[in-house]
């Protein structure tokens, strides 16, 4: 599907509109910075050129030990977390990590653009001039040769290619059987409990407002949004960016301004290195988390739209089907066309 070609007037109008969008977002970020307070500030340890990771969390004590181990192994030098009203061991766990800086807030996650205003301030304050990874606690980034080449290697390769950003497909992982019956302990690899994914039936189109490739499909669409696939979650993300204080994410990491940064997926007939975010949402705590999501009503602008989705998850559905594939490694995902590989030269 070729990218639509805009007229000069339409292209200029979009560029003008998005410049003002970026300025408004940066103004919001500056206003919202007062909502977060430092709980463990170790940012003085950040060295020039360090790869940084940014994450907003709520009750993620189950996932965080493996999350930290995974990204440390990939070469993240420092983590910057915002904890939003956790009442489990999340805050205590993060305060004890020597490579973590932690901020806390009780303010509304939804009214902070689902945490992006808070992370935006940390990007602006600490991310300038660094390659910055922005992910959720249930997202594990992999990419071609990630087992032998860490994020600093990827950052160096992207820089030599003249690229300032890196795209990834969010791939929903699930168990075989009821989602509430899988078993996982904190610190263990969640993929041992939820190793399956949908290998086909993904579709894309160009986003009419932002001009980036908009991808949908996967497990959640198949199981929960079949009658209304246009409402299914967005799967394209731009999680790894060489940050400048003038940048801002728009909606999670699905869109970013300036828009050239989310031009990360190759048009047909071309190849561009991409990764995959293994999405570990469907661990056995999903029923309780869904119950809480309905109660808090913080996760979507139109929370009522997702009530049936959360209520279905509370029943412990089986998300597996006979076409589901068991995850093996990054080579498998390249072969399936879910990520792209280029030569590291």
DSSP summary character for residue 98: T
DSSP one-letter string for 217-275: EHHHHHHH-TT-GGGSPP-EEEEEEE--TT-EEEETTTEEESGGGG--SPPTT-----E
Distance in angstroms (rounded) separating the CA atoms of residues 236 and 36: 28
3-class secondary-structure state, position 26: helix
* Segments in 74-207 forming alpha helices (H): 90-95, 116-122, 151-160
Q: What share of the chain is helix, strand, coil (3-state, %, to 5)?
A: 35, 20, 45
pLDDT of the residue at 314: 82
Q: Locate tokens 């922005």: which residue?
A: 134
CB 173 within 8 A of CB 182: no
Length of the chain: 345
CA-based end-to-end distance of the chain = 29
CB 231 within 8 A of CB 300: no
Q: 328: which strand partners? A: none
Per residue of the chain (345 residues), what is the pLDDT tens digit? Answer: 667 788 899 889 999 999 999 999 999 999 999 999 999 999 999 999 999 999 999 999 999 999 999 999 999 999 999 999 999 999 999 999 999 999 999 999 999 999 999 999 999 999 999 999 999 999 999 999 999 999 999 999 999 999 999 999 999 999 999 988 877 888 999 999 999 999 999 999 989 889 899 999 999 999 988 888 888 999 999 999 999 999 999 989 999 999 999 999 987 667 899 999 999 999 988 878 877 777 666 555 555 556 778 788 888 889 999 999 999 999 999 999 999 999 998
Q: Regarding beta strands 213-217 and 131-134, do their DSSP bridges make them parallel or antiparallel, or are they unpaired?
A: unpaired
Query: How is residue 314 written in tokens?
Result: 């509370």
Distance in angstroms (rounded) separating the CA atoms of residues 177 and 193: 11
Is-cis flag, bond preceding 258, omega within 30?
A: yes
pLDDT of the residue at 306: 67
Picking from 80, 118, 87, the residue whose alpha carbon sits closest to that of residue 102 is: 80
Residue 216: which H helix or E strand, with range? strand 213-217
Domain residue spans in the chain?
8-335
- Which CA distances in Å does 20 have to 32, 211, 225, 263? 18, 16, 34, 19
* Residues whose CB falls within 8 Å of the CB of residue 190, separated by 6 or more in sequence, listed in order: 63, 66, 140, 173, 184, 280, 283
pLDDT of the residue at 49: 97
Q: Please calculate the CA angle 282-312-114 and round it to the nearest 5 degrees.
A: 60
* Residues whose CB falls within 8 Å of the CB of residue 34, separated by 6 or more in sequence, listed in order: none
> Secondary structure of 70-96 in the HEC alphabet?
HHHHCCCCEEEEEEECCCCCHHHHHHC
Query: How is residue 239 written in tokens?
Result: 């999680």
């Amino acid at each position: 599907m070729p990218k639509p070609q805009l007229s000069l007037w339409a292209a200029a109008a979009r560029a003008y509109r998005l410049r003002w969008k970026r300025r408004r977002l940066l103004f919001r970020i500056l206003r919202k910075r007062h909502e977060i307070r430092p709980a463990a500030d170790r940012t003085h340890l950040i060295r020039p050129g360090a790869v940084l990771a940014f994450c907003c969390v709520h009750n993620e004590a189950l996932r965080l030990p493996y999350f930290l181990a995974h990204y440390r192994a990939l070469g993240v030098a420092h983590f910057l977390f915002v904890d939003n009203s956790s009442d489990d061991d999340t805050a205590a766990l993060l305060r004890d990590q020597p490579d973590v800086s932690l901020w806390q807030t009780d303010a509304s996650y939804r009214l902070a653009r689902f945490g992006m205003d808070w992370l935006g301030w940390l990007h602006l304050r600490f991310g300038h001039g660094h390659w910055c990874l922005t992910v959720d606690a249930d997202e594990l980034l992999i990419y071609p040769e990630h087992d032998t080449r860490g994020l600093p290697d990827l950052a160096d390769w992207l820089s030599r290619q003249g690229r300032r950003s890196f795209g990834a497909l969010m791939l929903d992982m699930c168990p075989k059987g009821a989602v509430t019956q899988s078993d996982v302990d904190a610190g263990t690899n969640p993929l041992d409990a939820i190793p399956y994914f949908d290998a086909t039936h993904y579709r894309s189109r160009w986003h009419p407002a932002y001009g980036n490739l908009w991808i949908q499909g996967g497990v959640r669409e198949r199981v929960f949004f079949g009658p209304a696939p246009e409402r299914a979650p967005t799967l394209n993300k731009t999680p790894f960016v060489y940050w400048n204080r003038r940048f801002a994410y728009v909606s999670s990491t699905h869109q970013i301004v300036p828009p050239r940064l989310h031009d990360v997926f190759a048009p047909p007939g071309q190849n561009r290195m991409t990764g995959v975010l293994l999405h570990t949402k469907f661990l056995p705590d999903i029923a309780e988390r869904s119950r809480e999501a309905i109660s808090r009503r913080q996760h979507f602008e139109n929370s009522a739209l997702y009530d049936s989705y959360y209520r279905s998850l509370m029943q412990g559905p089986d998300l597996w089907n006979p076409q589901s594939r068991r995850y093996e490694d990054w080579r498998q995902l390249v072969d399936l066309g879910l990520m792209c590989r280029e030569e590291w030269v």
